[in-house]
Structure 1
Amino acid sequence: MQDRGTEEPVRLGLPHPAVGLIFSMLLAVWTTQALEMSVGKIPFLEAVNGSTVMLPCSYSSCIGIKNLYFNWQFNQNGTMQKVCESVIPSADVVVSDVSIFRDRVEFVGKNDHNNVSILLWNITFEDGGYYTCFGRNPKEKGKNHSAVFHLIVVDEVRVVDNTLPTIIAAAVGGAIALIMGFMLLKNLTLFVLSKLEEKNKECLVTLSGIDNTDNGISGSKADSKPTPKKK
């Protein structure tokens, strides 16, 4: 009969903590090297019908690019339509061969500062919508990324009436200033009154001492008479 008390406990094949740390570091390095497409801090623009606008886009990669493929696409009623496309062999090459698939579109990036922006000439209301700037970098094993820019076409630029917000802000500011002034005046008044009260107390104590001396009250200097000697 086998003695179960001498059996080795079953050990789970858990990875060493160092392995997890190395994996996390490699993942962080890979993330920082990844291709990124950017349309700027403000990813939308409101433009007047008939005007010319630029749709900004730039790329970045910590390890550089090689044969970077990029394109612009327009979302027309849920269908992605290609606007333009090209391949950038390296970062120091000026892009000149760009395929354009849409009227009134001009590529203006020229790869200056990793720029792949485009111009839209004489925009119409049909040009309004979402444009996607897409990039794929073979140097990063085909890593790709995209950014979306929203173009809003209007009849005229709306002028925002700031009269009411200005009045409200002025009223609130004035009320706050009034409250602060009242509190300051109140604290100053209380401070002056406390000082006057302390001064009055000192004056009363001084006057009380003087009255005791003049009236010859026991314990004052007027009672300090020598005791007559007995014969």
Structure 2
Amino acid sequence: MAPGSPAARRRAAPRLLPALLAGESKALWISDLSKVTSQPSPRADAEVLAPAPALPASVANIARAFFCLHVFAIAFALEVSVGKTNTVMALNNSNVLLPCTFTTCIGFQDLVFTWYFNLTEMIYHGKIKSKASEPFLVGRNPRVEFVGSTTGKDNNISIVLKNVEFSDAGRYTCHVKNPKEKNAQHNATIYLTVVQKMVEADNTVTLIIVCIVGGLIGLLILFMLIKRVVLFIIKKTQDGKKECLVSSSGNDNTENGLAGSKAEQKAPPKA
């Protein structure tokens, strides 16, 4: 009998049916299993939603310490100053000092400082190796002279501008960069005004005010002295009146023959 004949297929049908049924049930079981496994696990959700474990106390303290150090470094970082006032007035054809100092909490090394005119023109450029060394020149304008010092108490990087002209009036910026502070940079600005003649301040109003105030103070002192003298005279006058009243009352008692008078002191007449 040929394998593919109808009779062979009819004989094989009873054996294939259980196998097909078994295969279908296995497929259903696998499908159910995939549905079950595809659902999220409650335990997995709990692990995802659970908060992260807290850091140990030592780690938290270290983190806080680093944060405090960072804030401290920011608070005392590189600072540049041109003094209490940021304006300077100079006479034409004269020399003028442009002050500038800097401070840093951790020191400096290979520090670079630059002076700019109106933020574009570099008029002085210098470097400082360390606190123990003075700045050395890198580049400058011929009319600019360095007059500061960094080996002393103050880190002075001031300059002098010689023979100023009206065209020199403007904005001068002192810029400092410190590689030791992760290339921290800071600057300060000073404004220069050039005039032909210095105008003297008119102190007339000030003198008038001083005279008025001085006069009022003098009058007040004179009034206090007069008051004390008047009070002294009044007191002396009142004391004199009291003495007169006492003495006059004694005389009246004597004349009227009262107790203590001279009439009581006379001897009785003889019989």
Scaled by the length of structure 1, the TM-score of the pair is 0.71
- Whichever residue aligns with residue 195 of structure 2, its letter is V
Report the equivalent of 1:4: none
Answer whether contact 2:102 2:156 (CA < 8 A) is retained. yes
Where does 1:158-169 land on structure 2 (aligned, <5 Å)? 158-169=199-210
Provide the residue aligned with 2:229 in structure 1. Answer: 188
Candidates 105, 122, 125, aligned match of 2:144: 105
**Does residue 154 of structure 1 match 2:195?**
yes
Q: Aligned partners of 1:90, 1:24: CA distance in 2, in Å?
A: 28
Q: Give the structure 2 partner of residue 211 of structure 1.
A: 252
Q: 1:71, 1:133 within 8 Å by CA — same for their partners in 2?
A: yes
Aligned-pair distance for 1:80? 4.7
Query: Which structure ranks higher in relative contact order (CA pairs < 8 Å, sequence separation ≥ 6)?
Result: 1
Q: Is the 8 A contact 1:66 1:90 kept in 2?
A: yes
Partner of 2:124: 84
> What is residue 68 of structure 1 aligned with on the other side?
111
For the residue of structure 2 that corresponds to 1:153, the secondary structure is strand
User: Contact 1:32 / 1:62 at 8 angstroms: preserved in 2?
Assistant: no
Number of paired residues? 203
What code does the residue aligned with 1:82 have?
M
Letter in 2 for 1:64: G
Give the structure 1 partner of residue 42 of structure 2. Answer: none
- Give the CA deviation at 1:69: 2.1
**What code does the residue aligned with 1:53 have?**
V
Superposition CA RMSD, Å: 3.4
Change (3 A) 1:143 1:193: farther
1:88-127 Cα deviation digits (max 9, x unpaired): 2212222223223x56333333545322112212211121
Asked if 2 retains the 8 angstrom alpha-carbon contact of 1:213 and 1:221, the reply is yes
- Measured against aligned partners, the alpha-carbon deviations of 1:164-185 in whole angstroms (never above 9, x if no partner) come to 4223312331232123212221
What is aligned with 2:81?
38
Query: Is the alpha carbon distance of 1:176 and 1:70 closer, same or farther for their aligned partners in structure 2, counting shifts above 3 Å?
Result: same
CA deviation vs aligned residue, 1:104-154 (integer Å, no higher than 9, x gap): 333333545322112212211121123221222222333333222221210
Q: Secondary structure at the residue paired with 1:201?
A: helix
Contact map agreement 2:133 2:151 (CA 8 A) in 1:
no
Larger Rg: 2
Change (3 A) 1:98 1:210: farther
> What is the letter of the counterpart of residue 255 of structure 2?
D
Aligned twin of 2:213:
172
Contact 1:130-1:149 within 8 A present in 2 as well: yes
Q: Show structure 1 runs of 5+ residues with no match.
A: 1-12, 14-18, 226-231
**Per-residue deviation, 1:51:** 1.2
Deviation at 1:81? 3.9
1:96 corresponds to: 136
Give the Cα–Cα distance (whole angstroms) in 1 for the partners of residues 251 and 145 of structure 2.
102
In terms of fraction of residues, the more helix-rich structure is 2
- Return the alpha-carbon distance in structure 1 between the equivalents of residues 254 and 239 of structure 2: 23
Aligned 8 A contact 2:128 2:136 in 1: no
